[in-house]
Copies of this chain bind each other. A is one copy, B any other.
């Protein structure tokens, strides 16, 4: 019996460091696959279909949408973006875990359709640190920084809708937390029940 993989959904405000955690998680665990989104926007130079995105026509995307083939989707500036169910389920069924780094709106859509998912929110250690990290990018105006900071606080207020919160005050510790969450979720009785019944 192949043990089904876990879908781990990671969100968090900009400045929380979720991108780095996800990258490290994928690098260190070959059984975790990054989810690949579908989009109707045109490929950019160097982007590979099926790797960076699944590039779809608008008609194709809408057909899949009508067939409930997305775990979540959004329309942004006249283009669709979405998470195809098929890619995720195929990986889970073959025993891989699937990692999905996504904004809160997307995560909450997934939670409705796929409640077996593991929902993790990455947090910066403090407001001061959050501000420092946003400023530290050095690419934005004062007004943009203020806006981004306000948006981050608003996002953090949504943490209660997630299963787990990882406070990223130390990258290695945060990574170990996420890995422990995956390992522990693999021991959840409701996930193991069939396996246990088959053993006894």
Contact = CB atoms under 8 A, between A and B. Distances in A.
Contact of A199 (B125, B181, B188): B125
A193 B159 CA distance: 8
Chain A interface bracket (under 10, 10 to 19, 20 to 34, 35 or more): 20 to 34
A184 B180 contact: yes
Nearest to A186: B177
A171 interface: no
Contacts of A164: 184, 187-189
Contact of A165 (B156, B160, B189): B189
Nearest to A183: B180
Contact of A126 (B177, B179, B189, B199): B199
A64 interface: no
Interface of A: 120-121, 123, 125-127, 153, 156-157, 159-160, 162-167, 176-177, 179-181, 183-185, 187-189, 192-193, 196, 199-200
23 contacts: A123-B196, A126-B200, A127-B200, A153-B200, A156-B196, A157-B200, A159-B196, A162-B189, A163-B189, A164-B189, A165-B187, A165-B188, A165-B189, A165-B192, A165-B196, A167-B192, A167-B199, A177-B184, A179-B180, A180-B181, A180-B183, A181-B183, A184-B184
